[in-house]
Structure 1
Amino acid sequence: MLVRSVCAAHPRRSFALLFFLCCLVVIGLVVTTADAGEQPSATDLAAQVWQYLTTEDGEQARAVLATILQRPDATVPAVEEIVRKGQPHGLQPVGLLPDEQIVVRDRPYRLSLSVPQSYEPTKDYALVVCLHGAGFTGEAYLDRWKSRLGEQYILACPTYPAGAWFTRRAEDLVLATVRNLQQRYRIDPNRIFLSGMSNGGIGAWLIGMHHAPLFAGLAPMASGIDDVLFPFLENLRTTPIYIIHGSQDQVMPVELSRKLAGELKNLGYPFIYREHDRTHAMAGGHFFPREELPDLVKWFDNQRRTPVPKTVTVVRDASHLLPFGWVRIDATDQIASFSEDLIDKRDDSIRQRTYARLTAQVTGPNRIDVHTDHVRQYALYLNDELVDLSKPILITTDGQVSFEGVVTPQVDTLLRQARLRHDPAQLFPAQVTISVPQRPS
C-alpha cells in the first residue's frame, strides 16, 4: 500500500523507487548465494570424507584431506558421525559367486563368495573368511559352509597357490579380502571371523595373531604352529578361539592343537577346544567333519568383538610394526624380523623368541599404565571410550611417569587413522607418542 501510494502521488519517482527495490532484492540474492558458498553442506563433507578414505591414489588422498581440514564444518564430532554411519552401499551381486577376482600387489587371485539371496544394503552382515588347505581351492569350501551359515553371513573363500597361507603375500590377500568386501557389502565390523583348515588353519593362527583386533574370533582346524611363535598368542587377549582337531590326524598331529590349547589356558584367554575321533575314507583323521559346523556357527552367532578394550597386549617382530587396536610399537631394540615366510625359523632371534612386547591398560580415570620389553618408542591412540579427552591424562611407562597433560583431538589424526584401519568401530582422534628410556644394562 505504501509503494502504491507513493507512486500515485509522485509518478516521476515511481521508476526510481522500483529500481531501488529491485537492487535490494538482487543484493539479497547475491549475499544468500555467497553465504551458501561459504558454508558447504554436510552432504558435501560426507562425500569428501569417503573420497579420502577409499581412494587408492595417494596424491588425491593428500589433496582431499587438505581440503577437508580447511572446512569449518569438519569438526571431530561431525567426521566421527560420518565414519561411524559407514560408507553408503548400493545393490551388489548375491548368491554363489565362485569366480570373483581380487588383485594384491599387482597379482590377481580368485575369490569365491556366498552372499545371502536376501542381502539388503542397509543391514549389517557378519563375515566369515575361510582359508583352504593344500590341494584345494576356495570354491571347494563354499558348499560345505554356505548351507550352515544361513542368511546372516557373507562367506569369503580366497584361493592361494598350494594353500601357503603362512606367507606375507597370503597375509596381504586375507586383509585385502576383508577390505574389498567392506567396500562392496555392508559388513558388521564387530563380527568378522577368520577360519581355516590344515594349511589354512596355520594361516588363521598366524594372520589372526598378527591382526587380532580385526577379528571377533578365530577358528583354526586340524593345524598348529611352531612353539617359537607361541609368544604371539598373547595378542589374542580379547579374541576368542575355537579349535577343532581330529585325534587320529596323521598329517597334522593332534598334539599341535593340544599344546596351543594348553598355552591359551595358561594365559587365561577365552577358547574352545573340540577334539573329534572321526575319520574320512580319503583323508583319514585329517579333515573337517560337517557334523562340527553347527556348533561352530552357534559360536559365531554369539561372538561380538570388543573394538576398544581397556587392556591391550601386543607382541611384535620387526616386520609387523603396525597399529594394534589403540597401540602401536614404533621402534625397538634388535629383535626378530620375519621374512616373506611368516613361519621363518632360520633366524637365531626367532629361535630365541626375541620379540618386542607391550601391554597398555586403562587403570583409572584418565590413567594409562604401559609395560614394555624391547620397545624404544610407542604410540597410543585415544578416544572418549578410553579417557576423557577434555581433561589431563597420566601415562606411565614401566612404572615411571612419561606423559601428563591434555591431548587435543584432531580431525587430521582421526582421518589418517581411519584411512589406515578401515574400521568404523575404531576411531581415534588423539595420539600420544612416547619414547622409552634405555634401561641400564
Structure 2
Amino acid sequence: MNQLFASTSLLVLAASAPLFWWNQDDPATRAPSGKELTQLIDALYAVEPYKPASRAEIDALLEPYAALPAPSKSDRKPLSKKIEKAWGKLRELPKKGEHWYWDEKGEPRRGRFFVSGKTSKPKGLFIGLHGGGVGSADASGALASYQGPAGARGWLSIYPQAIEATECGWTDTGTEEWIMTLIDEARRTYGVSPDHIYIGGHSMGGYGSWVLGAHHADLFAASVPSAGAPTPIRDRATENIVAIQEGVVPNLMNLPICVFQSTDDPKVPPDANQFAVEEVKRFKETYGGYENFTYWEVDDRQHSYPTGGPDKLLERIDSFERNPHPDHVLWQPALDWKTSFYWLDWPEPRLNALIEATLDGEKNHIAVKSDGKNVKGLGVLLSSAIVNMDEEVTVTLDGTEVFRGIPQTSWATYVRTALVQDEGRLYECRIPLK
C-alpha cells in the first residue's frame, strides 16, 4: 500500500464513524479511556501532517476535551504508552541504500532518497541536500560528499532528491513536507534524538539548508549551507540586492549555522550570501541573539567545498544540540502548515508577520510583540520546562496584559503536542493572546 503519511484505511476511519465515540451532545466530563482512547489516537494519526488543514482537523477531534485538565502524572505514563504504540505503527524509514518513496506499479516513481550511516543507536541525523537547479537533481552527489564525514560521527544520514528539479526545488512541489516526513520516520525507526538533527547542502543544497533550516529552526540542532544562499530580492532597474526572501533571517535567531562561501565562485557569486549576512547583523543589533551564526568566507575555492572537504563543514556544527526552549524567539511564518515555532503557537499563521517573544523564567512572565497587524489566534504554549506552572504567570501582547493567573492545563493541548513524540515540544497549556 502506498503510504505518504498514514494509511488510507485510517483516513477513512477518521472521516466516518469516530465522532460518535464521545457523545458530543453532552460536555465531556472525563478523558477517553480504553477502546475510545485507542480510536481517538488512531484518528489523530490518520490526519495528514504538514498540510494547511491538518491543524484544524486535529483540533476538531480534540475539541470535546478542551475543558479537561492535562492528565495527572500517574495518568501520563499509560497515555504516553498508547500514543507511542500508535506512533510506532506508522510508516518507518527503510534500511540503508537507494529507495523511492512513491513506487506504485503503473505509476512514475517519485521521491528518490538514500539512507546511509549508523542505524544502531545513531548519535544524530544528518539531512544532506544536493545541488542542481532547473532540470538537474541527483541525490547521489550529496551522498558521495557527506556520507563519509557523517558516518564517521556516528550519524544516520538521509539524502533526499528534490521531487522536481527547479531553482527552488527544496521548497517547491511538496518536497519540504516530504523531508519533514522522512525525519519523522528516521526518529521512529532508528531512535534518533530530536535534539541532534542537522541539515546541510552545497549549491542549491546551500539554499535549501538556509531556508529549511530557518523554517524549522525549532527542530534542528544546526545548519551548514555552502556555496548557496537564500533567494535575494533585486531592484528591477539596477539589479542590486535590496532584500532577502522573508521567513529566513528572523527565524535563525537561535539556530547555530555556519555559512561557507568562496568569493571567486563562478556559479553562485557571493553577493547574496554577503547581503544575507549583513541582514543577520542588522537583526542581531536590533534584537540580540544569533550567537552561533558564523560566516566562513574564502577567496580561492570557486564552487567547491572548503579545503578539507565536507568534513570541515560538519566539524563546525557537530558539537551543537537543539535548544527547544530559548528564552527569546523571533518568528516570521513562511508556511501555512507550520503552526508552532518553539513555544509560540498560531493555528492559522499570517505569513510574513514578525513576532518577537521573550520569556523571563524568574518572573514567570512572557512578553510578546507583534508587527502591529492582525495576530488573531496567536498563542503561547506552556509547560513546567518553560515556567513554574504552580505560580502566577503573566503574559503581555504589545505591552498590554492579556493573562495573569495560574495556568490551567489542558488535556487536548497535552495530547496534541504529545503526538510528535518529542519531549522538547510537549506542552500542558495554551494561552491565547488574541
Structure 1 segment 187-206 matched on structure 2, within 5 A: 187-206=192-211
Match in the other structure for 1:428 = 427
**Contact 1:102–1:177 (CA under 8 A) maintained in structure 2:** no
Match in the other structure for 1:368 = 366
**Contact 2:224–2:317 (CA under 8 A) maintained in structure 1:** no
Which among 153, 178, 185 is matched to residue 183 of structure 2? Answer: 178
Structure 1 segment 30-41 matched on structure 2, within 5 A: none
How far 1:414 moved relative to its partner?
Answer: 1.0
Inter-CA distance 219–65: structure 2 relative to 1 (3 Å threshold): same
Instruction: Identify the range of structure 1 (143-152 vs 300-309) with the bigger mean alpha-carbon deviation.
Output: 143-152
Inter-CA distance 80–184: structure 2 relative to 1 (3 Å threshold): same
How far 1:307 moved relative to its partner?
Answer: 0.9
Over the aligned positions, Cα root-mean-square deviation in angstroms equals 3.9
Are residues 1:253 and 2:269 paired?
yes
State which structure, 1 or 2, has the greater radius of gyration over its C-alpha atoms: 1
**Contact 2:418–2:426 (CA under 8 A) maintained in structure 1:** yes
**Contact 2:220–2:255 (CA under 8 A) maintained in structure 1:** yes
Inter-CA distance 71–195: structure 2 relative to 1 (3 Å threshold): closer
Match in the other structure for 1:220 = 225
Whichever residue aligns with residue 162 of structure 1, its letter is: A
Distance in 2, matches of 1:274 and 1:402, equals 43
What's the secondary structure of 1:119's corresponding residue? coil
**Contact 2:200–2:224 (CA under 8 A) maintained in structure 1:** yes
Measured against aligned partners, the alpha-carbon deviations of 1:336-388 in whole angstroms (never above 9, x if no partner) come to: x5xxxxxxxxxxxxxxxxx3111111124321111111243311011001111
What's the secondary structure of 1:301's corresponding residue? coil
Distance in 1, matches of 2:345 and 2:113, equals 33
Structure 1 segment 117-196 matched on structure 2, within 5 A: 119-120=119-120, 123-134=121-132, 135-150=136-151, 152-160=154-162, 161-163=164-166, 164-167=169-172, 169-196=174-201
**Contact 1:124–1:187 (CA under 8 A) maintained in structure 2:** yes
Inter-CA distance 409–141: structure 2 relative to 1 (3 Å threshold): same
**Contact 1:326–1:380 (CA under 8 A) maintained in structure 2:** yes
Which among 289, 297, 306 is matched to residue 275 of structure 1? Answer: 297
The structure, 1 or 2, with the larger RCO (C-alpha pairs under 8 Å, 6+ apart) is: 2
How far 1:404 moved relative to its partner?
Answer: 0.9
Distance in 2, matches of 1:48 and 1:74, equals 22
Are residues 1:305 and 2:326 paired?
no
Match in the other structure for 1:351 = none
Match in the other structure for 1:341 = none
Are residues 1:235 and 2:251 paired?
yes
Are residues 1:264 and 2:283 paired?
no
Whichever residue aligns with residue 140 of structure 2, its letter is: E
What's the secondary structure of 1:425's corresponding residue? helix
Are residues 1:382 and 2:356 paired?
no
Structure 2, unaligned runs of 5 or more: 1-32, 49-53, 233-242
**Contact 2:382–2:427 (CA under 8 A) maintained in structure 1:** yes
**Contact 2:70–2:428 (CA under 8 A) maintained in structure 1:** no
Match in the other structure for 1:324 = 341
**Contact 2:44–2:58 (CA under 8 A) maintained in structure 1:** no
Distance in 2, matches of 1:111 and 1:84, equals 30
Measured against aligned partners, the alpha-carbon deviations of 1:245-294 in whole angstroms (never above 9, x if no partner) come to: 22211221112212222322331512122223445xxxxx2233572322
Inter-CA distance 295–322: structure 2 relative to 1 (3 Å threshold): same
**Contact 1:83–1:424 (CA under 8 A) maintained in structure 2:** no
**Contact 1:194–1:204 (CA under 8 A) maintained in structure 2:** yes
Inter-CA distance 73–107: structure 2 relative to 1 (3 Å threshold): farther
What's the secondary structure of 1:251's corresponding residue? coil
Inter-CA distance 375–83: structure 2 relative to 1 (3 Å threshold): farther
How far 1:330 moved relative to its partner?
Answer: 5.2
Match in the other structure for 1:211 = 216
Which among 352, 358, 363 is matched to residue 355 of structure 2? Answer: 358
Inter-CA distance 133–77: structure 2 relative to 1 (3 Å threshold): same
Are residues 1:406 and 2:420 paired?
no
Inter-CA distance 261–98: structure 2 relative to 1 (3 Å threshold): same
**Contact 1:76–1:411 (CA under 8 A) maintained in structure 2:** no
Distance in 1, matches of 2:389 and 2:319, equals 33
Inter-CA distance 287–231: structure 2 relative to 1 (3 Å threshold): same
Inter-CA distance 125–240: structure 2 relative to 1 (3 Å threshold): same
Match in the other structure for 1:418 = 418
Measured against aligned partners, the alpha-carbon deviations of 1:16-71 in whole angstroms (never above 9, x if no partner) come to: xxxxxxxxxxxxxxxxxxxxxxxx89xx999889756644579999889989x999
Distance in 1, matches of 2:70 and 2:335, equals 39
Determine which structure has the larger helix proportion and give its number.
Answer: 1
Distance in 2, matches of 1:299 and 1:376, equals 37
Match in the other structure for 2:98 = 98
The number of equivalent residue pairs is 362
Percent same amino acid at aligned positions?
Answer: 21
Distance in 2, matches of 1:317 and 1:393, equals 30
Structure 1, unaligned runs of 5 or more: 1-39, 280-284, 338-354, 436-441
**Contact 2:69–2:411 (CA under 8 A) maintained in structure 1:** no
Inter-CA distance 176–99: structure 2 relative to 1 (3 Å threshold): same
Are residues 1:291 and 2:292 paired?
no
Distance in 1, matches of 2:215 and 2:188, equals 23
Inter-CA distance 93–330: structure 2 relative to 1 (3 Å threshold): closer
How far 1:391 moved relative to its partner?
Answer: 2.1
Inter-CA distance 81–394: structure 2 relative to 1 (3 Å threshold): same
Whichever residue aligns with residue 273 of structure 1, its letter is: Y
Distance in 1, matches of 2:69 and 2:392, equals 27
